[in-house]
Structure 1
């Protein structure tokens, strides 16, 4: 996406976007949806890692199928905390897929390197590997008509230092927007396209055949979570190119401001990996960023994605 440095129009100035895209002071940090009652978890121990996002789940063996009541409780924890961490699971690729399938059908991504099986994506970075494209705030595959519901990521090899992953709570990001900005984006749609996110890393002859498979799509700028009803900011730097029906300068200025919301530390959780750790996140509700600070060491991860529904 091209971003201009021109002055915002009178219409955007009237929207009272804070200077520089940020503002100081207290933020609303509401973890649970409106009317959602706080309840204990009875079948595992849950240790919060962030105020609104991120929790470690202890006492579960993910290599075995979850009983229905346990699966329901893990799902509630995912909805309430948005990303869950499970230490030292050391799942095989087949076990990782089997765990993810308990949330729905799996999807593949032909733009990424395959792992051990068609449903597994492999990230082998550092050393002599190609440059990374994960170290930018994004939600996965929003260029699809039905972006992924969630993802299950396991670290196979961890560098001796660095290589953390960060997640940002996009419900908190929406909650804290000025009302004037909410008024501008509620009901708006934006175009999502895979080309901006991948064009720097692949030759045109590889990308061209995929343009028919993944043409640009439109999604709401603010989506509603189908299970919790939360309002979520649903634009990201990698794939969102413009707001539909808005002049380019207006769109660029507003998107630049909305993209910055993932950078607010109060909305984030950061996880330091050990080999065999699992992260399971709700792709509808978060963005993530793989910190690329470990070269020349290797970082090897495998991800399985659960197919999602059409945002509304």
Structure 2
């Protein structure tokens, strides 16, 4: 398999009097860790509209596009001519030499299977950011499921389907939830409180510091496989309550713009789920949204969940870090991975972070 060596981009620094400023990825200048007046992607900055309300989500039928690739005689032909590096032997890949924007439907099906198999794939040197947002959402994101609108996050004024990843030097825009914690690490899978949580997820950045702000990913498949057979068998009998209530209450207290666009829900999912395309089993718990195991005493539930949370967080031999550089797009399968932002940069000194996530919903989890 072909490999390539990628180095981390470094910020270009300029001195202006006593104020240190940094060039943004789009060439506009920032200082004090906030976007400058000529910021190219200003229309995608977060807005918070208290009057914007959404009805409850309705169930829908989802067919994963990766299923079509199972019968493809060359299921990875979309990678022809690309350089592929394995980030670890069984989890995570990095790809250079193809453009996601040029993939046809067959190639997108192959891509969905590839991401399901590798868990997370980093695509470098993409023109994805150059495409209009209508294409990004409707021609790209909708290929993989019904687009989810996040119930509490800030959104671009005209494109609520983008979930924004945003952190600048203003305290109210800092996504590090609890300054009393020793670490900003929060391992989670996105919005698992929904009845139909996301599948193949896309994240790209408009602007980011030259270093820092990696995203950590962990294989929930390997986390499951590492457990003893008897424990795996018992866990497969259990279901877990996933809740969006705490996230909504956090916003109601005035954080992140204080917006609750859709009333929070709780849903019960199997503790172990099976991927509909690969057939692999994976743990489906995360500390951010999983609350309790159905039918167990509180102490029993807490003991099992905390064991699994610790196992996931400490599983460095089934984790990878995705490093961001300009024109990178990261895809992951939210059904079989968990991830965490790594808040090791200071926006006031290093520059602000601004990105968007496209989050198509998939099927209801089953074993």
**What TM-score bracket applies, with the shorter chain setting the length?**
0.7 to 0.9
How far residue 201 of structure 1 moved from its aligned partner, in angstroms, is 5.2
Picking from 156, 161, 166, the partner of 1:119 is: 161
Is 1:131 equivalent to 2:175 in the alignment? Answer: yes
Per the alignment, residue 94 of structure 1 pairs with: 134
Once the two structures are TM-superposed, the CA of residue 88 in structure 1 deviates from its matched residue by 2.5
1:293 aligns with 2:293: no
User: What's the TM-score once normalised by structure 1's chain length?
Assistant: 0.80
Name the CA shift for 1:199/1:157 in 2 (closer, same or farther; >3 Å). Answer: same
CA distance in 1, matches of 2:330, 2:261: 32
How many residues end up aligned between the 2 structures?
274
Matches within 5 A, 1:297-312: 297-312=351-366
The structure-2 alpha-carbon separation of the partners of 1:198 and 1:257, relative to structure 1 and needing over 3 Å to count, comes to: farther
Secondary structure of the residue aligned to 2:78 is: coil
SS at match of 2:126: coil
Q: Indicate the residue corresponding to 2:286 in structure 1.
A: 236
Instruction: Tell me the equivalent position of 2:122.
Output: 85
The answer to whether structure 1 residue 43 and structure 2 residue 69 are counterparts is: no
Provide Cα deviations, 1:197-218, integer angstroms capped at 9, x if missing partner: 45445418958884xx332110
Runs (5+) with no aligned partner, structure 2 = 1-73, 178-183
138-147 or 173-182, larger mean C-alpha shift: 173-182
- The alpha-carbon distance between structure 1 residues 221 and 165, as it changes in their structure 2 partners (threshold 3 A), is same
Q: 1:168 to 1:277 in 2, by over 3 A?
A: same
Distance in structure 1 (CA, Å) of the matches to 2:233 and 2:101: 46
Asked whether the 8 Å contact 2:222–2:318 carries over to 1, the reply is yes
Q: Per-residue deviation at 1:127?
A: 1.2
State whether structure 2 residue 113 is matched by structure 1 residue 76: yes
Alignment partner of 1:43: what SS?
helix
User: Following the alignment from structure 2 to structure 1, what is the Cα–Cα distance between the partners of residues 254 and 294?
Assistant: 26
Shift of 1:76: 2.3
Q: 1:208 to 1:267 in 2, by over 3 A?
A: same
What is the aligned-residue RMSD (CA, Å)?
2.5
Secondary structure at the aligned position of 1:172 is classed as helix
* 1:300–1:102 distance in 2 versus 1, CA, 3 Å: same
Structure 1 Cα separation of the partners of residues 297 and 306 of structure 2 = 14
- Verify the 8 A CA contact 2:210 2:325 in the aligned structure 1: no
2:320 and 2:239 map into 1 onto residues whose CA distance is 28
1:136 and 1:202 map into 2 onto residues whose CA distance is: 21
**What do residues 226-284 of structure 1 show as CA deviations (whole Å, max 9, x unaligned)?**
11111110010000010000000010111001112222011111111012210111000
Partner residue in 1 for 2:55:
none
Structure-2-length-normalised TM-score: 0.69
Q: Distance in 2 between matches of 1:148 and 1:290?
A: 18
CA–CA distance in 2 between the matches of 1:197 and 1:292? 19
Counting only pairs closer than 5 Å after superposition, residues 44-63 of structure 1 correspond to structure 2 as 44=79, 45=82, 46-63=84-101
Superposition pairs of residues 172-251 of structure 1, within 5 angstroms: 172-197=222-247, 199-200=249-250, 202-203=252-253, 210=262, 213-251=263-301
**Tell me, what secondary structure is at the counterpart of 1:63?**
helix
Matched, 1:254 2:308: no
Q: Where has structure 1 moved over 6 Å in runs of 4 or more?
A: none
| Distance in 1, Cα, partners of 2:76 & 2:267 | 39
Give unmatched runs, 5+ long, in structure 1: 1-38
CA distance in 2, matches of 1:204, 1:118: 20
Contact 1:96 1:152 in 2 (8 A): no
